[in-house]
Each structure stands twice: as C-alpha cells, then as structure tokens.
Amino acid sequence: MPATRITVNPNGSLRVEGDFEIVDAEGRPFGLGGRTRVTLCRCGHSANKPFCDSAHKTSGFQSAPVAFDLPAPKPAP
C-alpha cells in the first residue's frame, strides 16, 4: 500500500489515510493532532473547510465517480 491513500467516497468526502501533511496556500501546515486519517470536503458546504463536517448529507451533494486512467501528461516545452 502507498504511504498515502485517498478514497473518493460516493456522495461525500475525500478520505486521506497514511503519512501526509496538509498545508494552506502559504505553505503553513494544518495541525492534525497526530491523525493518520482525515476527511476533506468535496461539496463546498463544510463550515470546517478544508475538512468535512458532513454538510454533504443535507446539501444535496451527489457525485459517485468511478476510477479511470488519465492520459499521459503532455511533454514540457
């Protein structure tokens, strides 16, 4: 298993597990209190962004993506 695993939950959050760090746009780390698993908001309605507070359950958010292969990246110019 990779050091970090991200699971896209149907109609819900992104679950992040393993060895990871979450930083803001300025590079400042969020204090995770030793957690090795967190859930991140996908619906945009959480009052605790970037973390999930289960607002997706009452906001009507729906998304159940199925895994697929991305195309190869374009070569750098």
Domain annotation covers residue 69? no
Domain annotation covers residue 72? no
pLDDT in tens, 19-49: 999 999 999 999 999 999 999 999 999 999 9
User: In the prediction, which pLDDT does 2 show?
Assistant: 66
**What CATH number is attached to the domain comprising 53?**
3.40.5
Domain annotation covers residue 77? no
Domain annotation covers residue 47? yes
Number of domains in the chain: 1
* Residues 10, 42: Cα–Cα separation, whole Å: 10
What is the DSSP secondary-structure string of 1-58? --SEEEEE-TTS-EEEEES---B-TTSPBP--TT-SEEEE-SSS--TTTTB--STHHH
Q: Which residue segment(s) compose the domain that 13 sits in?
A: 1-62
What is the dihedral sign for C-alpha 42, 61, 53, 16? Answer: negative
pLDDT at 54 over 90: yes
User: In the prediction, which pLDDT does 23 show?
Assistant: 98
**Can the peptide bond before residue 50 be classed as cis, meaning omega within 30 degrees of 0?**
yes
User: In the prediction, which pLDDT does 19 show?
Assistant: 95
User: In the prediction, which pLDDT does 11 show?
Assistant: 96
